[in-house]
Amino acid sequence: MKTIVIDGLGLIGGSIALVIRKQWPDHQIFGVDVNHNSLVSAQSSGIIDGGFPRLQDIAAAADVIILATPVRIILDHMDQLADMRLKPGVIVTDVGSTKQQIMVKAKRLTGKGINFIGGHPMAGSHKTTISAARANLFQSAYYFLITDTLSDQNAVKDLQSLLSGLHVKWQLVSAARHDRIVAQISHLPHIIASGLVNMSQDEFSQSPLSLRLAAGGFRSITRIASSDPEMWTDILLSNSDTIVDKIDKFSDRLGQIRQAIVSSDHEAIHDYFHQAKITRDSINAQAAAHDPNFYDLFINIPDRVGAIAQVTHILAEAKINLVNIHILEIREEVDGVLQLSFSNQQDLTRAKDELRQHGLSVVRGE
């Protein structure tokens, strides 16, 4: 039995708590949060054994402390932990979206013999608070572990074992490289999405209907603009140099496509979209070919109207919960392949049996 303390019982902390509770029912889990309602709701639904308003109230009892507040608070709480007497051998980890400032601060903790393991799950949502938490949030996602302080391999193994129910793909990387990667694929996109929404709001301030007319493209590229402003302020301010560099490079690219339009450069404009299409298409193809999820089933799907609906209907009738569905290829007059993701082996096996009984053929997923 271990005592786990989760500091910040929101979307990420709450989802991790759900997974640990399910996989390790004997562990004690305590939550820390300034939001009293989150603690009450987590305790009444049995996700935690007790709640505290401040980390100092419970940190000394912990075998593992998971810091899951916004980044600025994580940094603050690392200072608090460095000033406290913690259990010998305690593991402290965090889930913050930026890593360099956190790993600088980690030196104070490791200097005191505390095992600090920087972490960052590359999964989440624009939604916040424990009400949005779910146990399969991280299923098949990448989870960065930061190599700067990974000296004690046993501590790393213990943490990976504790979190094995997340079903993530561990990715070891330095803090500097981490922050460069996420500036490009996460931070810049969030800035662009919010800028686009703000610009559209200003443009249409006199005609609110126009914004509601937005089609799927606008909605999908701006979904993340609904994310939490506090969290994103902290992220931008804790990775500022790299993000400023990315903004400058993106501005250059906007300048290039602007110039191509001004000079009616058909080839340059076509190239802009063509290059992006090739890369974007390949993301899905690569993920499916080289990176199968944990409980994936690949089935042949005939090219006829209603074929996919038939599959989802069979699974719904059998009360099998589908986590994700992905069309890998359906070309005219050629059978396609459907990638079906489940949250556990039992659902996968049952799905395979049900679909076979209905005459569908399994390509992969034994």
Q: Is 194 left (phi over 0), alpha (psi -120 to 50) or beta?
A: alpha
d(CA 169, CA 184): 20
Beta carbon nearer to ligand ENO, 33 or 234:
234
Q: Answer with the entry of ligand ENO, ligand NAI, none that 186 interacts with (C-beta below 5 to 8 A by kind).
A: ligand ENO
- Asked if 184 contacts 246 with a C-beta cutoff of 8 angstroms, the reply is yes
Any contact of residue 97 with ligand ENO (CB under 6 A)?
Answer: yes
User: What distance lies between CA 67 and its chain's CA centroid?
Assistant: 16
Q: CB of 353: closest distance to ligand ENO in angstroms?
A: 34
Any contact of residue 8 with ligand NAI (CB under 6 A)?
Answer: yes
- The neighbouring-strand residues paired with 31 are 6, 51
Judged by CB under 6 A, the chain residues 214 through 233 that form the site for ligand NAI are 228, 231
Record the tokens describing residue 236, joined without a space. 């931008």
Any contact of residue 197 with ligand ENO (CB under 6 A)?
Answer: no
Report the relative pairing of strands 362-364 and 142-146 from DSSP bridges.
unpaired
One residue of 3, 6, 10, 166 binding ligand NAI per CB under 6 A: 10
Any contact of residue 124 with ligand ENO (CB under 6 A)?
Answer: yes
- Asked if 194 contacts 247 with a C-beta cutoff of 8 angstroms, the reply is no
Q: Answer with the entry of ligand NAI, ligand ENO, none that 148 interacts with (C-beta below 5 to 8 A by kind).
A: none
- Give Rg (Cα) of the chain: 23
- Segment lying near ligand NAI (by CB under 6 A), choices 120-128, 159-167, 261-269, 303-311: 120-128
One residue of 69, 115, 140, 242 binding ligand NAI per CB under 6 A: 69
The letter for the amino acid at 233 is T
DSSP string, 206-262: T-HHHHHT--HHHHHHHGGGGS-HHHHHHHHHTSHHHHHHHHHHHHHHHHHHHHHHH
Any contact of residue 224 with ligand ENO (CB under 6 A)?
Answer: yes
One residue of 3, 33, 138, 246 binding ligand NAI per CB under 6 A: 33
Any contact of residue 322 with ligand ENO (CB under 6 A)?
Answer: no
Site string for ligand NAI, 74-103 (x = CB under 6 A): x--------------------xxx------
The residues of the shown chain that bind ligand ENO, judged by CB under 6 A, are 97, 122, 124-126, 186, 224
